[in-house]
Chain A
Amino acid sequence: MELEELRQVTRSFVLSHQTLCITGVSFDKRCLVGYTELTLHPLVKNFNVIKLNARQLTIYAVTINGERNVEFSYDDPNMQTFLEDDPRRDLSSVLKRQQRFSEYVDPDEGNGELTIFIPSSLQQHADSATTNHETNMNNTVYKVTIDFSLEQPETGIHFFVPDDDAKVSRLSRHLFTTGHDARLWFPCVDSYCEPSTWTIDVTVEESLTVVASGELVECTTQNEMKTYRFYLSTPAPAPFIGLAIGAFESVVDSNTQEITNYCLPGLLTLLTNTTSFVHEPLEYFEELLNASCQYPNYKQVFVTEPFAECTPFASMAIFNVNLLYPSTVIEATWHARTQMAFALANQFFGCFITMRSWRDWWLLKGLALYLTNIYTRRAFGNNEYRYNLKRDMMEVIRYEREENPIRLDFAPVKSESDLSNVNNRRGTMMSSHYLEVAAKKAHLVVRMIDDFIGREIMMQILNKLMCLATTACLKDASLSSRSRLHISSKSFSRVVSTLTTKDIQALLTQWVYESGCPRLIGSFTFSRKRNVVELEIKQDTTVKGSKKFLGSLVIRVQELEGSFSQTILLEDSITKYELTCHSKVRRNKKKKIPLLSGDEVDMDLSQMDVECPILWIRIDPDLKIIRELQFDQADFNWQYELRYERDILSQFEALEALKRYPSQNTRETLGTVLDSSTCFYRVRIECAHVLTHIANSMANTWTGTLATLSFFRRVFMSTNSTSSSASTTASSTNPSSSTAPVTHIVRINDFSNSQMYMIQKMIPQAIALQRNKDRVCPPEVINFLFELIHYNENSKNRFSDAFYRSSLIDALGNTLTNVGLTSTTTNVDLLLNHTLDNNTKRIFDEILLQLNFDKIIPSYGFCVTCSCLQILHKLYVISGIPIDINVFYEYAMYGIFDRVRLTACEILVEQTETRMNPDVLDYILTLIETDPDYNLRRKILQHLCRHPPFRQNQTCPLNNSSTVHRLWSLMTNFSYDNQIRNDLTELYQVMYGLNRPACLPASNDANESSLRDELDDVSDTVVDIDPERLSHFRLARYTDDTKAAATKLASTSSK
């Protein structure tokens, strides 16, 4: 019996088709009304109860197979997770409760908030026909219709309604689904492993456009109302159903008719520019996977205030409007394209093939990111790809070391483990920062699997998965075949082991089922007598989040005779290896040295130890494992590595190491690399930074100008004494010689070479960090920066210079130091006119000018304003100019562009961190509580988690009971928005730990423990109840009990 296969989950029915019909949408009241019809096939004999998911909805009536007003009960235990009147205020009990409650409504456990009791007239009785009950059960279909409405939703659906009545504001009203919590906007089975086909009917005013998952099959107009009917023939689970309604402008992709893009009125030109490339990743993925996208079309909608930059749904994706950019802006391209490619990758792995449960979250996230990165590697180049890889790895390692070790395999559904460890919590309880870093780790792990089994086989496996899933989408496919639409870690490794002989289980154990990453410390000596390299690798397991790594590691040795790779096996904490050397020591022989890339180069080997033929050694050159690496070799090794190695990762490693070796040789090497036009631009920028670092540590003996400064003058500036220009940037008019003294004027902007543009943009920031021996920025540098700003001329440039200008302002901020600021005068007048040094005052004036000017003529995304605000804050913190805090409030208001608001809010958060101003904290918490822009709320909260005003057990004037109560009531308020509540929990944990906050008076211990026992008793019985009908009443009892216990405790403590 095929339906039996589906009983991996304990749901008692299978959903084959769902109709979602939204009959009315009101923007003024922010509500929508509709009904949904689920077609259910029962799996059990005594099918008498249906459990569905639904939150923040009003359910009016339930009809089953035409029988009206069926009895149902609807209650949401999650509302009771945080109790306003819980006197204990500790997280551990809350987390425990949250865990139990989320199990309690988990659809994969056959649970839900909405319980429908099937009337006995419709029930099949086991005794009716025992002989043919199998066939009977297969044929029985329940059509459950639920009338519901959604009013003023907190999350799930976001209404954007500008509060003025201008025409364009009315046109810009829209709504969209915010995430993957389908239960928040319609009754459904909110599980990733219950795919069904969909019909979506939406009736709206004639002026509005509806975009939803599926294919638009019908559009009828009646009485100035338009009805859109979408049909999704490819089965998709409810969380991936997306919807967006608004007066969108649209453009069909010129290359692929199946792709349509939508945006808000007035932005059509940007939309055309931004989305012109989307067919490329689609074609690329189809070619790569050798399978076509299973959705008949693909829609991209750009909306304001979405909860994430990119939210993929089945056959559509919702993006932040801020991703749109005009053709004149250079920087925005990379990010926007990566996001769109990611959404497209999700159309294959993520939305089409879904995860079975939260435990498999990493696999799908990792696969989607893996595909995205293969595309971006092709589009933006290998260097960019490797750079991103390195950056992600660094972030993962930093997070594991400093915050929480990440275990990708989230806790199983039924866990009784210690919740103080983040890794024991359920996927739905993770904070957004954790998920963000975990996604990066997931990508690195999938890449490891790819390395392990080979790219070609990896693609075969993905193709196999796609093919299997495709068969489930055929018209005559059985319901049970739909299980091929979701995969889990286990099924994935099973497919791998059947298609290859390799077993990835060990790899998964190391990186998925356990947390942490190794820290390797390596060093080497060369033994001339035996001509071997003695390599020693230690593993430091004492640091937080570290973990012993056992497995193979690639070592690449660059010798005089060429580059040689060897694989060694790490077995112990300290391992020693002897690598045979392939080269003989040569003396005074001029011979070209072959590199790995096949090039042969001349090197000046005078620096080197004549006894040793080793130029440099690299450990794990291709980032095959997630590791923190510390490798010791002499400074000339690093210099050679930086100069001659072609791999950018190696160059970055060398740059990082060279910071420790300030010397004349290092200075020369850095100068050469900065100058070489064949080098990747990010390496050159980093090189400029390291050069400044070296100059600062050698400040006392440093002579001459910084190589970076002279490089910039040579390449980007024109002098009127010598016409120096072998540069790559074309200049418009080259000055001829004259008698005047040498003046450097920056050429008029020409950003047509984007590498040079990036260098031109970033190098002033590096130069500005220079300090002379008095630890202040040399006046020469400050004048140079002011001249750059003064002579900036963009009228002949095809590209916008907004980001260049904002970068120059950042550079001005980099020059600020607090050296010499001894006076702590409170007299503002005295400070500004006498105490403050001239340059700081000049910077202050310039910032105000730019800030005001940007308000009159805005730059793209107000990037200049953002930079100016940050520098104003620096002037306040470093130079002591008493900036009025109201300035930042002014920019944090609703109605300002969100990036500017975010910058202002981040500054305010940092204010509370350093100055502990209670008013500012109150302002921020109010924003988190009431701001109409939910995206901003999240961003501020995440920033607050990283910069809390105090950490656990720190003394701070803000560490008091009123802050505790404030935060607690915030958590109580966010009962629907899971993500923001998880972030709040994280903040609470950072500030107070898991137990009762220390600043609160100790409560009666005996009472507390008895209360806890009581709660545990009750909740234990809740977990494994079987007869569904009873469970409802038990839940009711449980919540009553909690309340009773709470009041009991309150009364005893008041006594």
Chain B
Amino acid sequence: MDTNSDSPYDVLFERSLALIVREYGFDNIELSAYHQILDVSNTILRRLLLNVKNLTEVQSRTEPCPADIARSLQMMNVKSSLLHQTCNQPIKHRLRSPDRQTETHPTKLFRVTHTTNDNSSRKHRPIYIPDFLPEFPDPHTFISSETYADLRKDYPRVRQLLADQRRALQRSLVKFKLQTNEKISVINNQGANINDYFLIKNTTSPLPYLAALLPQDQMDSESTDAMEDEATVDVSARTKSLSATEDGEI
């Protein structure tokens, strides 16, 4: 019974009408007849709403109130008693709530590429805007442009960026620590003036095993909970994979 249409309003309208038709006992309806009813009801509704709009305007209001609807129904010769009757009838069928619209987002990008379509960076103002108003800002500040980068083609670049970033982070972290902490020279410089090679001075800990056995270098990868769940599976898999090429004789 459903016809394909784009706007959710249309879909919902068609469905509710079909439901009303079924409520009145029809199991089947010819498509042309259904479209006829659809048109008729559409017209009636439009008429009704136009009337309501007119009434509100007459009373110099912007929002309709229930009385407006009642009055316009009266104007269209619809008897309110009939409406009451319809309302009192038990409802057999109910309308499903409409499907959630899934919006198709373009793939999220990790970088912005410059927009390609315009040559001039600024849009000129239309003539109806008075002169004293300021110029438009740069288009990238208010126009969203969808860009795509082929990740797969760029795999080496991505890896390089990532590695460079990581290395830069390491270096700057070490540099920072070297500046803020005590340091010792690695080179036995015997008076020569060499200041390039330093180590961060060790801090002794009363329980050195804690830092060593609970390393922090794995923390960013995954939550530890998930890892613990898999731990038992891992272990057996690991043992299995190690004895996989078992071919020595027993």
* Chain A positions near chain B (C-beta within 8 angstroms): 162-164, 166, 168-169, 172, 264, 266-267, 269-270, 273, 276-277, 304, 321-322, 324-328, 330, 333, 379-384, 386, 596-597, 622, 646-649, 677-681, 718, 720, 733, 735-736, 738, 740, 743, 745, 748, 752-755, 790-798, 800-802, 826-829, 832, 844, 848-849, 851-853, 855-862, 872, 881-887, 890-891, 893-900
Say yes or no: B245 contacts A755, CB within 8 Å. Answer: yes
Chain A residues near B209 (CB-CB < 8 A): 264, 304, 321-322, 897-898
Q: Collect the chain B residues with CB atoms within 8 Å of residue A738's CB.
A: 153
Count A-B contacts at CB 8 Å.
248
Q: Are B156 and A743 neighbours in the complex by a CB distance under 8 Å?
A: yes
CB distance from B122 to the nearest CB of A (A): 36
Q: Among B193, B238, B246, B248, find the residue whose CB has the most chain A CB atoms closer than 10 A.
A: B248
Q: Closest chain B residue to A380 by CB distance? A: B242
Quick one: which of B151, B155, B212 contacts A861, CB cutoff 8 A? Answer: B212
A232 to B224, CA, bound (A): 40
| Number of B residues, CB within 8 Å of A | 73
Inter-subunit contact B217/A859 (CB<8 Å)? yes
Once A735-B156, A794-B221 are accepted as A-B contacts, the answer to whether A852 and B178 lie under 8 Å apart by CB is: yes
Q: Determine if B163 and A849 form an interchain contact, defined as CB atoms under 8 angstroms apart.
A: no
- Would you call A882 and B155 a contact (CB within 8 A)? no
CB pair B246 A382 closer than 8 Å: yes
Are B208 and A383 neighbours in the complex by a CB distance under 8 Å?
no
Q: Are A858 and B177 in contact (CB under 8 A)?
A: no
- Complex: how many Å from CA A649 to CA B227? 37
**Residues on the A chain within 8 Å of B197, using CB:** 844, 848
A753 to B186, CA, bound (A): 39
Q: How far is the CB of A364 from chain B (nearest CB, A)?
A: 27
Cβ–Cβ contact A899 & B192, under 8 A: no
Which B56-95 residues have C-beta < 8 A from chain A? none
B215 at interface (Cβ–Cβ under 8 A)?
A: yes
Chain B residue numbers with a CB within 8 Å of A895 are 204-206, 208
Contact of A860 among B166, B215, B248 (CB under 8 A): B215
A680 with B227: CB separation less than 8 A: no
| Shortest distance from the beta carbon of A914 to any chain B beta carbon, whole Å | 16
- Please tell me which stretch of B4-12, B103-111, B136-144, B167-175 contacts chain A, meaning at least 4 of its Cβ atoms lie within 8 angstroms of it: B167-175
Task: Report B-chain residues with C-beta under 8 Å of the C-beta of A857.
Answer: 215-217
The contact sample of 23 A-B pairs, CB cut-off 8 A, is A169-B206, A267-B214, A270-B213, A327-B227, A380-B243, A382-B243, A384-B242, A647-B249, A649-B248, A720-B156, A735-B155, A745-B155, A793-B159, A798-B221, A802-B215, A827-B192, A856-B177, A858-B217, A885-B188, A890-B199, A897-B208, A897-B209, A900-B212
Name A683's closest neighbour in chain B (CB-CB).
B245
11 new A-B contacts at CB < 8 Å, known A276-B235, A321-B209, A899-B212: A270-B213, A273-B231, A326-B213, A648-B248, A680-B245, A748-B159, A754-B238, A755-B242, A755-B245, A798-B230, A856-B173
**Contact present for B214 and A266 (CB under 8 Å):** yes
Alpha-carbon distance between A678 and B245 when the two chains are bound, in angstroms: 6
Instruction: State which of A596, A743, A795, A852 has its C-beta within 8 Å of the C-beta of B199.
Output: A852
Q: Is the CB of A333 within 8 A of B238?
A: yes
Query: Is the Cβ of A754 less than 8 Å from the Cβ of B241?
Result: yes
Closest to A328 in B: B218
By a CB distance below 8 angstroms, the chain A residues around B231 are 273, 276, 327
Cβ of B39 under 8 Å from chain A: no
Contact B188 A597 (CB under 8 A): no
Chain B proximity of A215: nearest CB distance (Å): 29
Residues of B within 8 A of A881 (CB): 187
In whole angstroms, how far apart are the Cα atoms of A646 and B177 in the complex?
53
Residues 184-234 of B at the A interface (beta carbon under 8 Å)? 184-190, 192-194, 196-202, 204-218, 220-222, 224, 227-228, 230-232, 234
Q: Is the CB of A858 within 8 A of B215?
A: yes
Distance (Å) between the CB of A994 and the closest chain B CB?
39
| Complexed CA–CA distance, A852 and B175 (Å) | 9
Residues of B with C-beta under 8 A to A862: 212
Q: Does B247 interact with chain A (Cβ within 8 Å)?
A: yes
The answer to whether B202 touches A890 (Cβ under 8 A) is: yes
Q: Given the known A-B contacts A798-B227, A800-B218, are A883 and B188 also in contact in the complex, defined by CB atoms under 8 Å?
A: yes
Interface contact A163-B206, CB-CB below 8 Å: yes
A555: min CB distance to chain B, Å: 16
B204 touches A800 (CB 8 A): no
Q: Are A853 and B184 in contact (CB under 8 A)?
A: no
On whether A753 and B218 interact (CB within 8 A), knowing A826-B190, A884-B187, the answer reads: no
Task: Determine the chain A residues whose CB is within 8 A of the CB of B224 once the complex forms.
Answer: 269
The answer to whether A883 touches B234, judged by C-beta atoms less than 8 angstroms apart, is no
A326: contacting residue among B201, B211, B214, B230, CB under 8 A: B214
A496 to B49, CA, bound (A): 108
Please state if A327 and B234 are interface contacts (CB–CB under 8 Å): yes
Chain B residues lying within 8 Å of A753, measured Cβ to Cβ, are: 241
The answer for the CA separation of A430 and B242 in the assembled complex, in Å, is: 37
Is B50 close to A, CB under 8 A?
no
A828 touches B189 (CB 8 A): yes
Residues in A whose Cβ lies below 8 Å from that of B218: 326, 328, 794, 800
The answer to whether A861 and B238 touch across the interface, beta carbons within 8 angstroms, is no
CA distance A646 to B160 in the complex (A): 42
From residue B188, how far is it (CB to closest CB) to chain A in Å? Answer: 4
Report the bound CA distance from A283 to B212 in whole Å.
33
Distance in angstroms between the alpha carbons of A326 and B222 in the assembled complex? 14
Q: A798-B230, A896-B208 are contacts. A856–B174 as well, Cβ < 8 Å? A: yes
> Does A321 lie within 8 Å of B213, measured CB to CB?
yes
B29 vs chain A, min Cβ distance (A): 53
A277 CA / B231 CA spacing, docked (Å) = 12
Is the pair A828, B194 in contact by a Cβ cutoff of 8 Å?
Answer: yes
Interface: B250 (CB within 8 A)? yes
B187 touches A790 (CB 8 A): no
Q: Is A793 within 8 A of B228, CB to CB? A: no
Contact call A382/B250, Cβ cutoff below 8 A = yes
Interface residue? B152 (CB, 8 A): yes
Cβ contact of A890, chosen from B194, B201, B250, cutoff 8 A: B201
A270 touches B212 (CB 8 A): no
Smallest CB–CB gap between B230 and chain A, Å? Answer: 7
Q: Is the CB of A861 within 8 A of B205?
A: no
State whether B215 touches A597 (Cβ < 8 A): no
Q: Is the CB of A852 within 8 A of B177?
A: yes
Contact A797-B221, Cβ < 8 Å, known A266-B214, A277-B235: yes
Q: How far is the CA of A798 from the CA of B220 in the complex (A)?
A: 11
Query: A792's closest neighbor in chain B, by CB?
Result: B163
Task: Output the nearest chain B residue to A735 by Cβ-Cβ distance.
Answer: B155
Report how far A384 CA is from B243 CA in the complex, Å: 8
Closest 4 interchain pairs by CB? A895-B204, A381-B243, A162-B206, A327-B231
Return the contact of B248 from the options A647, A800, A844, A848 (Cβ within 8 A): A647
Is the beta-carbon distance between B228 and A798 smaller than 8 angstroms? Answer: no
> Please, which residue of chain B has its CB at the minimum distance from the CB of A876?
B188
Interface check B45, CB cutoff 8 A: no
Q: Is B162 an interface residue (CB 8 A)?
A: yes
Contacts of A886 in B (CB 8 A): 184
Nearest-neighbor residue (CB-CB) of A168 within chain B: B207
- Check if B112 is an interface residue, CB within 8 A of chain A: no
Give the CA-CA distance A273 to B232 in the complex, in Å. 8
In the assembly, what is the distance between CA of A648 and CA of B206, in Å? 46
Report Cα–Cα, A680/B247, bound state, in Å: 8
Q: Which residue of A lies closest to B167 (CB)?
A: A790
Contacts of A800 in B (CB 8 A): 215, 217-218
A646 touches B247 (CB 8 A): yes
Q: Residue on B with the closest CB to A334?
A: B242
Query: What is the CA–CA distance of A269 and B231 in the complex, to the nearest angstrom?
Result: 11
When C-beta atoms are compared, the residue in chain B nearest to A321 turns out to be: B209
CB of A490, distance to nearest CB on chain B (Å):
32
Nearest residue, chain B, Cβ from A647: B248
B244 close to chain A: CB less than 8 A: yes
Interface contact A891-B202, CB-CB below 8 Å: yes
- Shortest distance between the CB of A819 and any CB in chain B (Å): 23
Q: Which residues on the B side are within 8 Å of A169 (C-beta)?
A: 206-207
CB of B249 within 8 A of CB of A596, answer: yes
Residue of chain A at shortest CB distance from B197:
A848
Which residue of chain A has its CB nearest to the CB of B232?
A276
Within the complex, the shortest CB–CB distance from B45 to chain A, in Å, comes to: 54
